[in-house]
Homo-oligomer: A and B are copies of this chain.
């Protein structure tokens, strides 16, 4: 039997916990994200119950952010300045480690999902790619030069500035990037809640031909163009709730090509954009499968 690992996709709305070793060997449970005490206790309970009959080698956590990823920082493993009520300065790694006594790996939810897609999904053998999520929030992670993208902190791809469409009077719902002296950011203009606020109805309830989808494709495409010019990824994977609208990915592919206007001379963009901008192969499992992959890295590091 394969080694068994634990994975936590720590989302702002929902936690997904799983044990197993690969996408076809997963025992999952998901529950609402309430306060940290209750939520983390429930996660610990999930792993303790399973640990007794199949010991867990290590646990990986892909978390909503911002988070502290610097090993040498006193707040390593914390969710830091999140506006999410009750969760600012939460020592998520410390809590899991103290209760379960196994190596714990920690990264952003989007970097975890990127790792899942790299091992089992749409980014196999790529060294440079981006995983985006467009849902309650907008974020991005990925690999560059074969390693997960970190730096000063970690990417906050949802907060790049985008030009507002000339016909869009909505300024965006990001509390940081909605002021006179700031700018309108990608997340503020294009997240699920932003769509709901702009149109007065949820994305799920918008008809197939509603102009909302054209505007959404416009913003997502503009962001992709900027990522392409900044990182030169070999592929872009887009997950998240808003992408469940089937028509959207096609609109985005069309618009990205139109906007780049053949400037970047690469066959992937010029000739096969449908293989360049793709949905996650692991679907909504990308995050938790990636968290399991993070756990495998932690197990190797701790040997």
Interface residues of A (CB under 8 A from B): 66, 80-81, 128, 140, 144-147, 149-164, 176-177, 179, 181-185, 222, 225-234, 258-266, 268-269
Some 30 contacts from A to B, beta carbons below 8 A apart, are A66-B265, A81-B265, A128-B150, A140-B230, A144-B145, A151-B232, A152-B269, A153-B264, A155-B231, A155-B232, A156-B228, A156-B229, A156-B264, A159-B263, A159-B264, A160-B226, A160-B229, A161-B222, A161-B259, A162-B163, A163-B163, A177-B259, A181-B259, A181-B261, A182-B258, A182-B259, A185-B229, A230-B230, A230-B231, A231-B231
Q: Is the interface of A mostly helix, strand, loop or mixed?
A: loop
**A160 surroundings in chain B (CB, below 8 A):** 225-226, 229-230
Docked CA distance A231–B128 (Å): 13
**A161 surroundings in chain B (CB, below 8 A):** 162-163, 222, 225-226, 259
Docked CA distance A260–B176 (Å): 8
**A261 surroundings in chain B (CB, below 8 A):** 176-177, 179, 181-182
Residue from the list B183, B222, B234, B265 in contact with A225, Cβ < 8 A: B183
Docked CA distance A230–B149 (Å): 9
CB distance from A77 to the nearest CB of B (A): 15
Contact of A227 with B230 in the complex, beta carbons under 8 Å: yes
Q: Which residue of B lies closest to A130 (CB)?
A: B230
Docked CA distance A161–B186 (Å): 12
**A226 surroundings in chain B (CB, below 8 A):** 160-161, 226, 230
